[in-house]
Amino acid sequence: MNTTKRDAPMTAVTILSLPAFNDNYIWVLRSGMNVAVVDPGDATPVLAYLRESGATLSALLITHHHGDHIGGIDALIKAANAPVQVFGPARESIPGLTDPLQGGEHLSLPALALELEVLAVPGHTAGHLAYYGANLGTDGALFCGDTLFGAGCGRLFEGTAAQMQASLAKIAVLPAPTCVYCAHEYTQSNLGFALAVEPDNPITRQRAHTVAEQRARGLATVPLTLSEELATNPFLRWSSPEVIAAATVQLGHPPEDKVQTFAAIRRWKDGF
């Protein structure tokens, strides 16, 4: 048994993943016998986890309104013996929403002794949120839904390239060691595109190699570390000369600014 626990938090929060659908991750935050769940697209794995662990569901943290992120909310609320707090974007239609958020809020979940900052990260959807816990784990944790992926980012369904670039820029300035818990296992295929953008980036090449091995062994590549994304994710690398050169080829002229660079790379990826 590990008895060398850090002395600061009495109720350390542990984070685990429940795979859902083809490639979704539902994240469970647990402290003692209380859990909060991020983006329960499917209730089934969450209900199985609650049954097996005997833990109580206290809160749901929703990033955006797509079905693979909200599909399990109703069944989880119905199955709970006590009221469940449902946090999510105020400007999107979220079933059971009790705590509408805009971004910029500070959340306290007393049942888990957990403090979170809410970030507005529009782009994939108009009201997309991310939840950041500076004291979660050793290096902080970000739950970002479909905004940032391993070596990729979400498609622009409702927002503009300028909005998404600004959202990703908000994430980019978090501490580099932050663990990023995104909602999909897309890293391997995204790295194929990242190498097309930056064929000479040695860190991207090494990562593609490592990730291919991980996936061949059935291992998850998420959580990501922000530092690795900053080094390899073309959607965070609008200042890299190689990414600007790739955007220039796509546009037929040099990009005017980082938004144009990001937009050109995002458009290229849409048809890749």
Chain positions contacting Zn ion, by CB under 5 A: 66, 146
Determine, following the binding rule CB under 5 A, whether residue 68 of this chain makes contact with Fe ion: yes
92 binds, among Fe ion, Zn ion, none (CB under 5 to 8 A by kind): none
Are 181 and 13 in contact, with CB atoms under 8 Å apart? no
**Among 39, 42, 124, 128, which one carries the catalytic annotation?**
124
- How far is it, in rounded angstroms, from Cα 218 to Cα 141? 23
Is 66 one of the annotated active-site residues of the chain? yes
DSSP state of 104: S
- How far is it, in rounded angstroms, from Cα 149 to Cα 190? 8
- How far is it, in rounded angstroms, from Cα 170 to Cα 163? 11
Q: Which residues contact 174 (CB under 8 A, 6 or more apart)?
A: 132, 140, 142, 226
Q: Concatenate the DSSP letters of all residues of 51-99 into one string.
A: HHH--EEEEEE-----HHHHTTHHHHHHH-SS--EEEEETTS--TT--E
Q: Which is nearer to Fe ion, 39 or 229 (CB)?
A: 39
Determine, following the binding rule CB under 5 A, whether residue 146 of this chain makes contact with Fe ion: yes
Question: Shortest Cβ distance from residue 66 to Zn ion (Å)?
Answer: 4
258 binds, among Fe ion, Zn ion, none (CB under 5 to 8 A by kind): none
**Among 39, 42, 128, 146, which one carries the catalytic annotation?**
146
Are 87 and 107 in contact, with CB atoms under 8 Å apart? yes
Residue 21 corresponds to which amino acid? F
Question: Shortest Cβ distance from residue 253 to Fe ion (Å)?
Answer: 34
Q: Which tokens belong to 73?
A: 């909310």
Determine, following the binding rule CB under 5 A, whether residue 42 of this chain makes contact with Fe ion: no
Q: Which is nearer to Fe ion, 68 or 198 (CB)?
A: 68
198 binds, among Fe ion, Zn ion, none (CB under 5 to 8 A by kind): none
Is 68 one of the annotated active-site residues of the chain? yes
Is 106 one of the annotated active-site residues of the chain? no
Is 128 one of the annotated active-site residues of the chain? no
Question: Shortest Cβ distance from residue 92 to Fe ion (Å)?
Answer: 13
Question: Shortest Cβ distance from residue 39 to Zn ion (Å)?
Answer: 9
Which residue stretch of 139-147, 167-175, 216-224, 248-256 sits at the interface with Fe ion (rule: CB under 5 A)?
139-147
In degrees and rounded to multiples of 5, residue 35 shows phi and psi of -130, 150
Which residue stretch of 144-152, 238-246, 252-260, 263-271 sits at the interface with Fe ion (rule: CB under 5 A)?
144-152
Is 253 one of the annotated active-site residues of the chain? no
Count of residues of this chain found to bind Fe ion when the rule CB under 5 A is applied: 2
229 binds, among Fe ion, Zn ion, none (CB under 5 to 8 A by kind): none
Parallel/antiparallel/unpaired status of strands 34-38 and 99-101: unpaired
Q: Which residues contact 126 (CB under 8 A, 6 or more apart)?
A: 91, 92, 158, 159
Is 69 one of the annotated active-site residues of the chain? yes
Q: Footprint of Fe ion on this chain (CB under 5 A)?
A: 68, 146
Indicate which residues carry an active-site annotation.
Answer: 64, 66, 68-69, 124, 146, 184
